[in-house]
């Protein structure tokens, strides 16, 4: 008995080494199969994800945890729930954020306008980001910067907190906005970016401001510092002492060129959600700012700015060859620029 048991044990023990290659082989086969299936599923997931993120906009993916049923259907393309990588939105994570851009031209009041917007606790307008040439070297660098701004990950003195309800920047038309218009318009429409056009009606006044600003860049009238914007009437008065002489030979063609740029900008971006503002209108009628707050759908608040207008009073005071300029514009479509004056 003992022998037979030990025999059978021997047999079993002896069979074991014969069986184990089979067991090992099937384990390897199963393992390989499992690995293959796993890799396959990962691939499927990735292709599905990348095609989804191409088709849908990123907002939809980010939206999911927030309940959007309280918002109107037509609002949804303009509502975003960004998930910044640099901080957490905490209790405001499900407060919608609207994206905007101020499209403007140099010396058209956009600096002042932006300080007004930034005086609102829920608005963050991050300045002239594309003033830096590297950021606008091509459409992909532009898009990368915009993504960062709209994801609330752009850091500037105007960056707000987790409860920002509108985030944007100011962008001069000649700083890559028009050059890359195809990609930019597509981006604005895909991501629901609202455009605030800010132009100046009186382009002759704009020209004076351009000249004075260029002059001060070299001369630095305020104790050796160049200032494009000032905060006191005294500083404004010092900067306004410089009276440029306008070249009347190409005055009309220069004005036409600036007017053309503004018109082209409006035309290129007309398919976006937008409003058009004029600096002069905002100066003389602060109710225009209510339109802006309604456009951005942020709560109503009084907006304030510490900036003081540099060239106030009649235009004739700010041009050294006023008579020549008057003659050059007489009878042209720009004649009205001579008469429009501020009483500010």
Q: How wide is the angle at C-alpha 43 spanned by C-alphas 41 and 46, nearest 5°? A: 110
CB 241 within 8 A of CB 160: no
- Binding status of residue 250 toward ligand NAG by CB under 6 A: yes
Any contact of residue 88 with ligand NAG (CB under 6 A)? Answer: no
Side-chain half-sphere exposure of 49, counting CA atoms within 13 A: 7
For the bound state, the minimum distance from the C-beta of residue 92 to ligand NAG, rounded and expressed in Å, comes to 6
Stretch in the footprint of ligand NAG (CB under 6 A) among 29-37, 137-145, 263-271, 311-319: 137-145
Query: Minimum Å distance from CB 34 to ligand NAG?
Result: 36
Binding mask 209-228 for ligand NAG (x = CB under 6 A): -------------xx-----
Helix (H, G, I), strand (E, B) or coil at 316: helix
Residue closer to ligand NAG, measured from CB, 17 or 331: 331
The Cα–Cα gap between 296 and 196 comes to: 9
Q: Indicate which single residue of 64, 157, 218, 287 sits in contact with ligand NAG (rule: CB under 6 A).
A: 287
Q: How far apart are CA 142 and CA 176, in angstroms?
A: 8
Question: Cα separation of 110 and 175, whole Å?
Answer: 14
* Closest distance to ligand NAG from the beta carbon of 234 (Å): 6
CB of residue 104 to ligand NAG, shortest distance in Å: 18
Least CB distance to ligand NAG at residue 279 (A): 14
CA 190 remoteness from chain centre: 14
Closer by beta carbon to ligand NAG, 3 or else 287: 287
| C-alpha torsion angle, residues 304, 309, 315, 318 (rounded to 10) | 180
Pick out residues in 149-168 that bind ligand NAG (CB under 6 A).
161, 163, 165
CA 134 to CA 141: how far, in whole Å? 8
Angle at 40 between CA 34 and CA 41, to 5 degrees: 90
Nearest residue to 116 (alpha-carbon basis) of 329, 317, 284, 286:
286
Interacting positions 318-337 with ligand NAG (CB under 6 A):
326-327, 330-331
Contact segment (CB under 6 A) with ligand NAG among 106-114, 257-265, 269-277, 283-291 equals 283-291
Q: Which residues make up the interface to ligand NAG (CB under 6 A)?
A: 67, 69-70, 92, 95, 121-122, 137-138, 140-141, 161, 163, 165, 222-223, 235, 238, 247, 249-250, 285, 287-288, 291, 299, 326-327, 330-331
């Amino acid at each position: 008995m003992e022998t037979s048991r030990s025999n059978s044990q021997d047999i079993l023990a002896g069979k074991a080494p014969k069986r184990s290659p089979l067991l090992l082989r099937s384990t390897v086969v199963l393992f390989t199969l499992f690995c293959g299936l796993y890799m396959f599923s990962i691939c499927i997931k990735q292709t599905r994800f990348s095609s989804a993120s191409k088709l849908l906009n990123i907002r939809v993916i980010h939206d999911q945890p927030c309940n959007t049923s309280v918002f109107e259907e037509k609002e949804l393309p303009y509502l975003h729930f960004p998930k910044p990588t640099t901080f957490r939105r905490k209790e405001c994570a499900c407060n919608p954020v609207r994206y905007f851009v101020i499209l403007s031209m140099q010396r058209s009041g956009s600096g002042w306008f932006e300080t007004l917007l930034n005086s609102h606790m829920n608005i963050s307008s991050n300045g002239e980001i594309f003033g830096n040439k590297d950021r606008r070297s091509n459409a992909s660098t532009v898009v990368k910067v915009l993504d960062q701004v709209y994801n609330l990950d752009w850091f500037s003195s105007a960056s707000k907190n987790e409860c920002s309800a509108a985030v944007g920047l100011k962008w001069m038309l000649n700083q890559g906005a028009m050059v890359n218009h195809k990609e930019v318009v597509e981006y604005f429409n895909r991501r629901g970016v609202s455009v605030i056009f800010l132009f100046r009606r009186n382009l002759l006044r704009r020209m004076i401001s351009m000249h004075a600003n260029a002059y001060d860049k070299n001369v630095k009238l305020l104790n050796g510092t160049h200032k494009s914007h000032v905060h006191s009437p005294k500083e404004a008065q010092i900067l306004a002492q410089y009276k440029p002489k306008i070249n009347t030979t190409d005055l009309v063609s220069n004005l036409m060129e600036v007017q053309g740029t503004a018109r082209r900008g409006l035309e290129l971006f007309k398919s976006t959600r937008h409003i058009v503002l004029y600096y002069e209108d905002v100066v003389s009628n602060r109710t225009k700012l209510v339109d802006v707050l309604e456009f951005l759908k942020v709560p109503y608040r009084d907006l304030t700015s510490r900036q003081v207008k540099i060239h106030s009073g009649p235009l004739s005071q700010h041009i050294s060859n006023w008579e020549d300029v008057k003659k050059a514009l007489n009878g042209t479509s720009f004649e009205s620029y001579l008469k429009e004056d501020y009483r500010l």
